[in-house]
Chain A
């Protein structure tokens, strides 16, 4: 007589339903770990953003009731403000300098000092030191260096008998001076990322390239750099997001001056939004910046940072 064996006996009632939902304990894990993360994300990201979005629709100075609803007027004001345009252009300049000067410089330095030798360790430390400094401190140091009366620049001008140059007070030079400091401050960080990636390249591959007849330059361009592509992609991501958020180097150096020519988007937000107590206006800038960051992060992550893209040559 044939006997049918029920491999998956149907369990009835609430207990059975729970067992079906909680296959291999997945639901337990989900219930255990998701709520705290969701709570913190909501508390520190979603709620402030939601609040800022609401404030951006009001003319509000941060004190008192939210009662002056002006719709999208704050956004219109931001879009029509020439200083905002200049801040956007400056931010794009920071992105450009980061990508085309800072990262290549970091890569060159990394290629020079990535091998494990004591002398390389010293150089690595020297190059990384500016990154350890707090932005405000670095800004103050460079403000002194650029000072036309007492700074390092002044000793040059004095030595050559030239007129003193006040770099940070010069509309044409101030932002370039900030760009120099940005490169100086952050290239060491990217260099460290590249060093870690370069040290991960198998020695055999470099030796195989040598045997295949590749010169040092060819080995670098055809083997090493393609093999640290993932690190470059990551560094570009950090660079662009860092550029979009740059603030605390600008404030001690120029405070966005002279004549609001050296603002980044964030320093513009702070100066015109927070300092002048235009919280609604500032919130509108914040929302715009957040959307820009999210769009960039989303597109970049999907284009360059997923595994499929990482596997492409």
Chain B
């Protein structure tokens, strides 16, 4: 196990493309960290810099006590699982898993024993003689994991390892990766753009945007308390609603959200000015409440998801989604009274897009 630290790490290509823009980061020993972000945000480059497959333009990366900036990948005590699995097509499963051990000069008996142990754990024993071409996607994925596990490195790196699998297999492989982590307790850095993978696997999620770290926190933390509009929009499915509202602050200090003629008092720590803000609310926190719902809205569309339904409303000329119980009978074109769970609203500054409100939770 080893701690991984980034100190003001930059990555530039040809002095024009600045991909990673000075990130500071600490990944504790044995922690499972997921780098999450949209395509092109720099997450894979960050992972490849840890692996030593990309040079660092500026800054410092340490693994354990060693600065690894100038070390070759083989000197970093890491193992990596690639998106394409990168299995050697001319070698059998056994030879693929044992390749690293063979290179490090282990004797044949030891290689065979270690490979057999890993194959047993990953249920690959009957496949050891096969070539990668004769394996299914999930089996290839397990071989790639086996190749990483057999060397028992200090740090495991995963570069979108499940993106080539179908949804069902992805679910089972997710739990295998988590089990592997529980068993080996190694520091793990996992890159994905799939937030479900991030939420289910991570001890800590690092959300990246345009080469910067947008937020670091536990999956629950980043979901419940996004620190910016970007994080709020990136995490959660269906995505968060954003509507333009006005914040009014009474002489008594009472805050209220004003949308058209409707004013709703809110309670919490507000760090902005009175005036225009962006209000974020997740579809699951919007309800139809015909008795006391303060907002009048028209149902534009209705999508049945199963137990719930996703309804798109027009609210004062702005569109807002609500995830409601599928048993509630509503029709497109119908007018409804909507209510928000006020303990779960988010307010973002319209210019900086930073979160400026922490609601007071009543227990």
Q: Which residues of A does B touch, CB under 8 Å?
A: 202, 204-205, 207-214, 218, 222-223, 226-227, 229, 311, 313
Q: CA of A205 to CA of B91 in the docked complex: distance in angstroms?
A: 12
Residues of chain B lying within 8 A (CB to CB) of residue A229: 90
Contact B103 A213 (CB under 8 A): yes
Q: CA of A226 to CA of B90 in the docked complex: distance in angstroms?
A: 7
Stretch at the interface among B4-12, B78-86, B327-335, B348-356: B78-86
Contact B92 A313 (CB under 8 A): yes
Chain A interface mostly: helix
B230 proximal to A (CB < 8 A): no
Q: Can you list 28 contacts pairing A with B, beta carbon distance less than 8 Å? A: A202-B84, A204-B84, A207-B51, A207-B82, A208-B82, A209-B99, A210-B52, A210-B72, A211-B73, A211-B74, A211-B78, A211-B79, A212-B74, A212-B103, A212-B151, A213-B73, A213-B74, A213-B104, A214-B99, A218-B103, A222-B99, A223-B88, A227-B88, A311-B133, A313-B90, A313-B91, A313-B92, A313-B95
Interface residues of B in 175-216 (CB under 8 A from A): none
Which of A204, A211, A227 interacts with B90 by CB under 8 Å?
A: A227
Contact A204 B103 (CB under 8 A): no
Contact A214 B103 (CB under 8 A): yes
> Apart from A207-B86, A211-B80, A212-B151, what are 5 other A-B pairs with CB-CB below 8 Å?
A212-B147, A214-B99, A223-B88, A226-B90, A227-B90
Known: A211-B73, A313-B131. A205 touches B88 (CB 8 A): yes
Q: CA of A208 to CA of B82 in the docked complex: distance in angstroms?
A: 8
Known: A313-B92, A313-B131. A208 touches B86 (CB 8 A): yes
Q: CA of A211 to CA of B73 in the docked complex: distance in angstroms?
A: 5
Least CB distance, A25 to chain B, in whole angstroms: 33
Contact A210 B73 (CB under 8 A): yes
Chain A, Cβ-Cβ closest to B105? A213
B53 proximal to A (CB < 8 A): yes
Chain A, Cβ-Cβ closest to B48? A207
B260 proximal to A (CB < 8 A): no
Which of B51, B84, B88 interacts with A211 by CB under 8 Å?
A: B51
CB within 8 Å: A-B pair count: 63
Residues of chain A lying within 8 A (CB to CB) of residue B86: 202, 204-205, 207-208
Q: CA of A218 to CA of B74 in the docked complex: distance in angstroms?
A: 13
Residues of chain B lying within 8 A (CB to CB) of residue A205: 86, 88
Q: CA of A222 to CA of B86 in the docked complex: distance in angstroms?
A: 14
Contact A213 B88 (CB under 8 A): no
Least CB distance, B187 to chain A, in whole angstroms: 16
Least CB distance, A90 to chain B, in whole angstroms: 36
Chain B, Cβ-Cβ closest to A201? B89
Q: CA of A202 to CA of B132 in the docked complex: distance in angstroms?
A: 14
Q: CA of A84 to CA of B158 in the docked complex: distance in angstroms?
A: 64
Q: CA of A218 to CA of B89 in the docked complex: distance in angstroms?
A: 16
Residues of chain B lying within 8 A (CB to CB) of residue A208: 80, 82, 86, 88, 147
Residues of chain A lying within 8 A (CB to CB) of residue B100: 211-213
Q: CA of A209 to CA of B99 in the docked complex: distance in angstroms?
A: 8
Contact A204 B72 (CB under 8 A): no
Chain A, Cβ-Cβ closest to B151? A212
Least CB distance, A152 to chain B, in whole angstroms: 43
Residues of chain A lying within 8 A (CB to CB) of residue B73: 207, 210-211, 213
Q: CA of A229 to CA of B89 in the docked complex: distance in angstroms?
A: 12
Chain A, Cβ-Cβ closest to B75? A213
Q: CA of A223 to CA of B91 in the docked complex: distance in angstroms?
A: 9
Residues of chain B lying within 8 A (CB to CB) of residue A218: 103
Contact B103 A227 (CB under 8 A): no
Least CB distance, B363 to chain A, in whole angstroms: 50
Which of A202, A212, A218 has the largest number of chain B CB atoms within 10 A?
A212
Chain A, Cβ-Cβ closest to B78? A211
Contact B74 A214 (CB under 8 A): yes
Residues of chain B lying within 8 A (CB to CB) of residue A214: 74, 99, 103
Q: CA of A209 to CA of B52 in the docked complex: distance in angstroms?
A: 13
Contact A210 B88 (CB under 8 A): no
Interface residues of B in 44-89 (CB under 8 A from A): 51-53, 72-74, 78-80, 82-84, 86, 88-89
Q: CA of A205 to CA of B82 in the docked complex: distance in angstroms?
A: 9
Least CB distance, A307 to chain B, in whole angstroms: 12
Least CB distance, A231 to chain B, in whole angstroms: 13
Chain B, Cβ-Cβ closest to A225? B90
Least CB distance, B71 to chain A, in whole angstroms: 12
Q: CA of A214 to CA of B86 in the docked complex: distance in angstroms?
A: 14
Residues of chain B lying within 8 A (CB to CB) of residue A204: 82-84, 86
Least CB distance, A222 to chain B, in whole angstroms: 8
Chain B, Cβ-Cβ closest to A213? B74
Q: CA of A222 to CA of B96 in the docked complex: distance in angstroms?
A: 11
Q: CA of A205 to CA of B104 in the docked complex: distance in angstroms?
A: 18
Q: CA of A169 to CA of B253 in the docked complex: distance in angstroms?
A: 109
Residues of chain A lying within 8 A (CB to CB) of residue B53: 207, 210-211
List the 5 shortest-distance A-B pairs measured between CB atoms, nearest first.
Answer: A213-B74, A208-B86, A212-B100, A204-B86, A226-B90
Residues of chain B lying within 8 A (CB to CB) of residue A226: 90
Interface residues of B in 253-277 (CB under 8 A from A): none
Contact A311 B131 (CB under 8 A): yes
Interface residues of B in 140-186 (CB under 8 A from A): 147, 151
Q: CA of A102 to CA of B88 in the docked complex: distance in angstroms?
A: 28
Q: CA of A116 to CA of B89 in the docked complex: distance in angstroms?
A: 23
Least CB distance, B178 to chain A, in whole angstroms: 22
Chain A, Cβ-Cβ closest to B153? A211
Residues of chain A lying within 8 A (CB to CB) of residue B88: 205, 208-209, 223, 227
Residues of chain A lying within 8 A (CB to CB) of residue B79: 211
